[in-house]
Structure 1
Amino acid sequence: MSEDFYDVLGVSRDADEDEITKAYRKKAAQYHPDVSDEDDAEEKFKKIQKAKEVLTDEEKRRQYDQMGHERFQEAEKHGATGGGAGGAGGFGGAGGAGGFEDIFNQFFGGGRGGGGRGGRDNRPRKGQDLRTGLTVDLEEAFEGTTKQLTVTRPETCPECDGRGHPEDADVSACQQCGGQGQVTQVQQTPLGRVQQTTTCPRCDGAGETYSESCSTCGGDGVARNEATLTVEVPAGIRSGQSLRMEGEGAPGENGGPNGDLLVEVDVDVGERFERDGADLHVHEAVSFPQAVFGDTVPVETVDGTVEMDVPAGTQSGETFRLRGKGMPKIRGRGRGDLFVQVQVVVPDSLNEEQREALEAFAEAGGEEIDVDQGFFEKLKNTF
């Protein structure tokens, strides 16, 4: 993994914040120490967090682009970099505490961080989209189903209605920033004199402080709650596809709407079938006489048993196509197909009558049979 922050996240140098955030979530899910088996997963995860921290902070990113990776790292050691976006964010903060499956820690890092509740910018903002997973079996994916799932997510604090303080708390201008919501620091560094303006850490950019904080949410305005939701899974869903539950994500800011909950579906196909989009593949055993003389055999599909014609002279490994016997097409009409690969099964033992009949069959075809080796040993080698 390259040290360059853009390479770490796999984005271009002109990527916007949404692209960076999406790339971060994908990489973090891959290398989070709770789920990755790689020996250096923790080190890679920290690099991913650092890259996201810098590239989603407008001031830090500007400095990073100007200085380059090595000079920026050196300047940061001497405190000559900064920005208003706050901590590393994502999956439980820099230490990853809280676990991969905790949606609250994934996107809030244990608190609101440097930007607070939008600083002095009071524009309504939509809440963060959250993600979770859901597993269904092949039959449920075929029919479509309704499933319940439980998620732990941030919600607007019911005690203070998202204010972060009691309604009757006394308000005053922040003493640290004088009500501006920002503080400016000037530092002398090896690279010269640097002036840095950041969000006020005391008031989180609000410009105001209150005599007391909400006892339920500790002033964050959000509370961590468990919610049980019902999701409709459409027929034909495939592994890796996501279902969007509008308004079931994190709460918005300044009166903005809630984000959405994205439910990533995993379809457990089971052992009998293999799936390729809307098509299914299966192996079906037939006997040697059925393959030689032809027959009609029952084939179990995902929604019942059908009859399939096996022509005379069918060879082991031959594949037959049963049209419309696969999975529903989620974005179109009709169904995929079922591909049945025939495997000719040779019995392990024969009675005397069967043996004599097959030896006569071989001799009639001009084959020289080593009876000591066994006729069916040769047949097995053939198939």
Structure 2
Amino acid sequence: MLNRILSGDYPRSKPLTALLLIIVVSLLLGPFLFDGIRAFTTLGMICVFIMVVAAYDLMLGYTHIVSFAHTMFFGIGAYGVAMATSNIGSTFPAVLIGITGALALSFVLSLLLGLLSLRVKAIFFALVTLAVAFAFLSLVTQLYVITGGEDGMRVRVPRELGPAFRPLDGTLPGIDVPTLLKGLLTQPWNLGQVWQDSLFELRLSGRNVMYYALLAVSAGVFLFLLRLVNSPFGRVLQAIRENEFRAEALGYRTVVYRTAVVILAALVATLAGAAFALINRYVNPENTLNFELMVFILLMCVIGGMGTLYGAIVGSTLFILAQTYLQDLLKWVGQYTDGIPLVENLLGPGHWLLWFGLLFVLSVYFFPAGVVGQLRIWSMRRRSRDQQPPDGPEAEPLPQT
């Protein structure tokens, strides 16, 4: 059963399997383990960017297509839902109309982009996508009447997906893991009080329904892409990545396959953008179309490991957690470095970008193939050493008769 779900593509590393299990369990039990709107938003963003990074890895890691227009399709999905709910109303039909219209527009644009640009090589295609992305960003910024310009748009979420909607009466017990860990570090002698302080009552709401719907969509998209890359279609993509000329000589129309990948990645990014709009409830050019977001997506892909797809889960989780909680961690560490001039300044929350960049440099240095790729390499080397026969004394020659 598990073999069919994962399409025979297992993590192939015990540490990686453990890491993926921790992430999956945390996402599944997130509302019961982490209290507060900030934790809810962080969990939702991880689900959203798993889809975005997995789609980008399909292009970059499996086909070696460098595109800077990925955020354009992400923004189309977000603005599609925002404009539909603003003009039609905060209803499910409005959300579906917005998603359908955004998917249709993304399909047309990605098809044109593929047919017009994929016949050029590497850097030239990247430059074309960069120009198209900047042109679309400028268009959204200028159309203030339709898109709200730089001010953005508020997303009107259906009532059934809001915090005021209560599908069930009563509350459920929850354990706030950050509070528990903080208490164990600061008051290990008072375990009873630490446990009591970490408990909270979870009241199920429409927000939880929206989160689990997003989690199901994200899991479904990831498993679909995992199935795709392990199918004959995915083998052709990897052949194009390794040697496009040889793949074309074998009879495969590489332009068709590359265009199909661009279209598929664009549609997944559009769906993720729609989910982002529903979770964030506010869209503007900065959080959906900015070039900085494209750099973040590329970093997530590199940190997780290109050409692995599992790297989308690991890279998105590590990056978003660092981006969200690194300032809090520095603030906590800074409490114990007061009075030390140089260290106090370096560990200040205002320098979190410095440490964020340092963490990225260290991750690339120690994990040159990404976290997933490097863990697989280390596991493969360990298995090779274990399978080698131990060196023993040479066998004595048989006596001659």
With the shorter chain as reference, the TM-score category is under 0.3
Report which of the two has the higher share of helix. 2
TM-score, normalization by structure 2: 0.21
Structure with higher Rg: it is 1
Structure with more contact order per residue of length (Cα contacts < 8 Å, sep ≥ 6):
2
